[in-house]
Amino acid sequence: MASIAVFISLSASSYAAVMITGANVKNGSLTGIDVKNSSLTSSDVRNRSLLAVDFKLGQLPKGAPGATGATGATGATGATGAAGKDGANGEDATALWAVVDKNGGTVRASVSTITTLETATDGSYEITFPRNITGCSFAATLGGPSVAQPGMIAVGTLPARPTVAVVNTHAPAAAGTFIGRDFYIQAFCPDERRLPLS
C-alpha cells in the first residue's frame, strides 16, 4: 500500500509529518468503507491478480468455444446379454398333402380346406391349397384308393393363382396323352410368414 502522510500535532502551532506504510496497518483492519469511491485505478491493482470470482456475475464476457477434443478410446466390450426367448414353432414341412382319385375327388387331405377337381381335360387336375404355394416344392406319385396303375405325373403352379397347383397324369406309352389316374401330392413349404400374401 502506498505510504500515507499524516500530520501529528506537536504543539498548538506546529505539526510533524509521519509516513504510514503498509507495515503500519494491521492485516484485515481496512474495509471497503475505508476506501474512497473511485479512488482506486488500474495502476493500483497488480496485473493478473484479480480472479473471475472477484467480478459481478455477467460482467466478464464469455470466451470463444474451444476446439473439439480428440475422440476418446473405445470402451471395453460389454457383457453378453441374456438369451432371448425361443421363437414360435414353424409349420411342419409336410403340412399340406392330399390323396386324389382319378375323377378329381378328394379321398383325404391334411386339412379340410384343400380342394381338388378334374378340369375339362381328362387327366388334368387343380389342387387348391389354403395358402400361397409359389415358394413351395412338390412331390407327386401315382396311386391312391384303387390299384396303382402305371403312368407319368407332372406338377406345376399358376402365377396368376398362387394357391393352385396343376397336376397332369399321362399314360405310360403315349407321352403327352393325358389320362385320369389316382395320385398323391405333397407341398413342402417354408414358414408362411416369409411368403408374399396370396
pLDDT band of residue 198 (cuts 50, 70, 90) is: very low
Residue 108 has pLDDT above 50, yes or no: yes
**Does residue 108 lie within any of the structural domains?**
yes
Instruction: Give the residue numbers spanning the domain of 158.
Output: 96-194
More confident residue, 192 or 184: 184
**Does residue 119 lie within any of the structural domains?**
yes
**Does residue 116 lie within any of the structural domains?**
yes
**Does residue 101 lie within any of the structural domains?**
yes
Q: Give the three cell numbers for residue 190.
A: 417354408
Average pLDDT over residues 25-36: 72
Average pLDDT over residues 10-34: 65
**Does residue 77 lie within any of the structural domains?**
no
The fraction of the chain above a pLDDT of 90, given in percent, is: 33
Cα separation, 171 vs 80, in Å, equals 63
Task: Give pLDDT, residue 50.
Answer: 79
For the CA atoms of 102, 107, 112, 115, the dihedral, rounded to the nearest 10 degrees, stands at 10
Task: Give pLDDT, residue 92.
Answer: 67
**Does residue 179 lie within any of the structural domains?**
yes
In the block, cell 403315349 appears at: 174
Q: What is the pLDDT of residues 132-182, one digit of tens each?
A: 998 899 999 998 776 667 888 999 998 899 999 999 998 877 666 888 999
**Does residue 46 lie within any of the structural domains?**
no
Cβ contacts of 61 within 8 Å, gap of 6 or more? none
Cα separation, 140 vs 128, in Å, equals 15
Residue 2 has pLDDT above 60, yes or no: no
Q: Give the three cell numbers for residue 87.
A: 421363437
Task: Give pLDDT, residue 18.
Answer: 61
More confident residue, 24 or 75: 75
What is the number of structural domains in the chain? 1
Task: Give pLDDT, residue 168.
Answer: 94
**Does residue 127 lie within any of the structural domains?**
yes
